[in-house]
Structure 1
């Protein structure tokens, strides 16, 4: 077993943010099974918050606290005695609020995760979420601002976005100071191999976390074979038996007990 630069055992398991669900209570419930829990996503600035209100108006669940920076800090404080490393997934149409959120993360030894993942049209229209993948220079500026605070900085991305070279994005954010690259593989596990396939700097030190369809040993074995350093789960965090099964599979991965070379068992997929 190796260790990531920020202390988690590698491979490790992350509870991935869930809009309107991933708060401190959620993280505490997942803590017995996971190594890190990412709160949020939370919109930080007026433009992204207006987009989030539009999402709520059409029925989506979103976090819209009066003061998002205080919400982040309170969430971390509530987890101070929990056996889990906290983090927060943030959205912003402007740079400075990301820096403010990252400063809170640095003070709490938490992870600041820049959301370049959300595909909701309201957020993309204001330059948040997936739209950042098409503006790698702006995304790199967000990462640099967060990393300069001393916070471990993650970027959550989505595979299969037309016109986006995810390997180039990984290079850009690694150069800017990102330590985690959190990939929603979108049923395209090969993208993990593409990101991890070149050990040249700066990507060599990037911890690649694979997300999508992680349900047990065989699905973990597939991601491991593609070079992932860690995995994350979203909805399984709300299903205790499933989360426990994934946690046991990650333990097996750490100890070299995964079924090497076997194809994934699709019976592990969620109903």
Structure 2
């Protein structure tokens, strides 16, 4: 991703319009989350009814993905789109991933949401406790031709972040998007466990201090969540990332080695 800044999905808000509004500051945008099969959609409907949440619930979620990715492409923005999806079966993941592949977009498996309704049907955070099933989702998306990211949450009881990272890497994941939960150390743990994957660090990214903490911990990319619609925050984050990349390039030249490449 170039620049190594991502916009992170927000329930019911992160569509093509949202992504394009922040495009000048970011190299990627994760649209969604979007529930793509019957069970996950029923869970989301329950969340909307019980909690007055904003969620995407189009009649045809795969058609929605196609239309949103087409809108990003039509804008000709220098932005890599991605779609964060919730599902209870690998077949549903495969269908969404095929559309992402057609658009050159990333399919992101949501192993992150912790709402009880989603976990009860086997979505979101529950996948972190069933790495075989999570790996099956990743393999389904990869087999459909999409680049694959997995959104995960740190500090989940009984879950080993390193083991999860290795499992999804072995299944074909290209990136792991870590909600670090105010613990930047988990970023380094994930990076060491699966050094071939791009590690995207999320949670509290607001400016220079948080950007440098995550990049120093081993992140390849930082992602902005709740304030992703605030151009002041995005500007600060982008400036901090550009500063870091410039410093790393200078250090590399001084040591007689190539400047580090940013994952794309």
TM-score calculated relative to the size of structure 2: 0.91
Q: Deviations over 1:82-131 (max 9, x none)?
A: 22111100000111110000001111000000000000000000000000
- Name the structure 1 match of 2:58: 65
Q: Is the 8 Å Cα contact of residues 36 and 85 (structure 1) preserved in structure 2?
A: yes
Write the distance in 1 (CA, Å) between the matches of 2:108 and 2:200. Answer: 12
- Cα RMSD (Å): 1.4
Q: Secondary structure at the match of 2:247?
A: coil
- Name the structure 2 match of 1:204: 195
Write the distance in 2 (CA, Å) between the matches of 1:173 and 1:19. Answer: 24
1:137 aligns with 2:141: no
Give the 4+ runs in structure 1 shifted more than 4 A: none
1:225 aligns with 2:220: no
- Which protein has the bigger helix share? 2
- Name the structure 1 match of 2:152: 157
Q: Is the 8 Å Cα contact of residues 55 and 61 (structure 1) preserved in structure 2?
A: no
TM-score calculated relative to the size of structure 1: 0.89
TM-fit CA distance, 1:216? 1.4
Which of 130, 142, 149 is matched with 1:147 structurally?
142
TM-fit CA distance, 1:257? 6.8
Gapped runs of 5+ residues in structure 2?
252-264
1:31 aligns with 2:26: no
- The range that moved more, 65-74 or 82-91, is 82-91
Q: Deviations over 1:142-172 (max 9, x none)?
A: 0000011221100000000000001100000
Write the distance in 2 (CA, Å) between the matches of 1:42 and 1:147. Answer: 18
- Name the structure 2 match of 1:193: 188
Equivalent runs, 1:107-146 vs 2, <5 Å: 107-146=102-141
Write the distance in 1 (CA, Å) between the matches of 2:248 and 2:53. Answer: 40
